[in-house]
Structure 1
Amino acid sequence: MKQDPSANPLDQAIGYRLKQVEALLRVSMDEVLRPMGLTVSQYACLELIAQKSGLSNADLARDAFVSRQSMNLVLRGLQKRGLVRRPSTVESGRSRPTCLTSAGEEMVQRAGVAVAEVEERMARGLDEGQRQMLLAGLSRCMENLGD
């Protein structure tokens, strides 16, 4: 049986569609964060610290989807700008917990508003039920792949 050359199976592939959305979301986030002098990775780091202060470099890297080495560079840049604070030494272990400075708190608040507007634009036309179904479906996909 011949395959219809005009049919594009990628249009029906959930993973491919997710990657398209992720790429467009990242571009849109870059556009709103760039004027603030932030990258998406820097914003993710600030947001993670705002939600749970004291995370280690390894925790931040894992949760922001970057390597430890990349997160170290992100943290150094944020620290140089006065947005985060890390102790130079720790009492035990090697983990240096990170927390936001007051400037970091202001920045993550401002950036969070801009990113929320991008998310709202992305979900425009979806009612609350559809948004909840989308979140539930994506959560199920994560669970299925995480096992």
Structure 2
Amino acid sequence: MTDHNDIHDRLGHAIKRAEQALIAEKTRVLRTVDLTVPQYVTLLLLQQGAGSSGAQLARACMVTPQTMTTILANLETKGLITRETSSVHQKVLVARLTRTGRTLTKKADALARGVEQRLADALDPAEQAQLRALLERATAALRGTG
């Protein structure tokens, strides 16, 4: 008989376990290139854009501005990004990838995609589509939009 009050039977617990397993594996592989997951995500966002402020990156990475300031300082120290005063706002610094940053981002992305591919390989295409749809529905329900 299953005890429905058992934490292991709760959907939230199952989602959190899957997320933690995904992040733990990405953390492991990214450590080989001396990056954290938040640093990797920041680099990936910078690779896709023409330059972003710390505030824009913090929102996109879902971290506090203070956390993003630390991430950017660490990336700058590693020579992976530069920060320059915005041409639009004198008090805003815009981050951009350096050549080294672009090269490392490609390598890190290949590692992270490898982790995601292992996850995808555990599911057939229909199951992948179903999982995406279910997660989107769950997100919408929790945000009150579903």
Shorter-chain TM-score range: 0.7 to 0.9
- Any idea what the Cα deviations from partners look like across 1:69-96, whole Å, max 9, x if unmatched? 1110110111111111110x33443332
- Structure 1 distance, partners of 2:86, 2:97, is 17
| CA pair 83-20 structure 1, distance change in 2 beyond 3 A | same
Amino acid at match of 1:90: S
Q: Which runs of 5+ in 1 are unaligned?
A: none
Match of 2:56 in 1: 59
Match of 1:119 in 2: 116
Match of 1:96 in 2: 93
- Structure 1 distance, partners of 2:135, 2:80, is 32
SS at match of 1:36: coil
Identity %: 32
What does residue range 1-147 of structure 1 map to in structure 2 within 5 Å?
7=3, 9-87=6-84, 89-93=85-89, 94-146=91-143, 147=145
- Structure 1 distance, partners of 2:69, 2:142, is 28
Structure 2-normalised TM-score?
0.86
Q: Once the 2 structures are TM-superposed, how far is the Cα of residue 129 of structure 1 from its aligned partner?
A: 1.6
Count of residue pairs brought into register by the alignment: 142
Q: Once the 2 structures are TM-superposed, how far is the Cα of residue 26 of structure 1 from its aligned partner?
A: 1.2
SS at match of 1:98: strand
Calculate the aligned-residue CA RMSD, in Å. Answer: 1.8
Greater fraction of residues in strand: 2
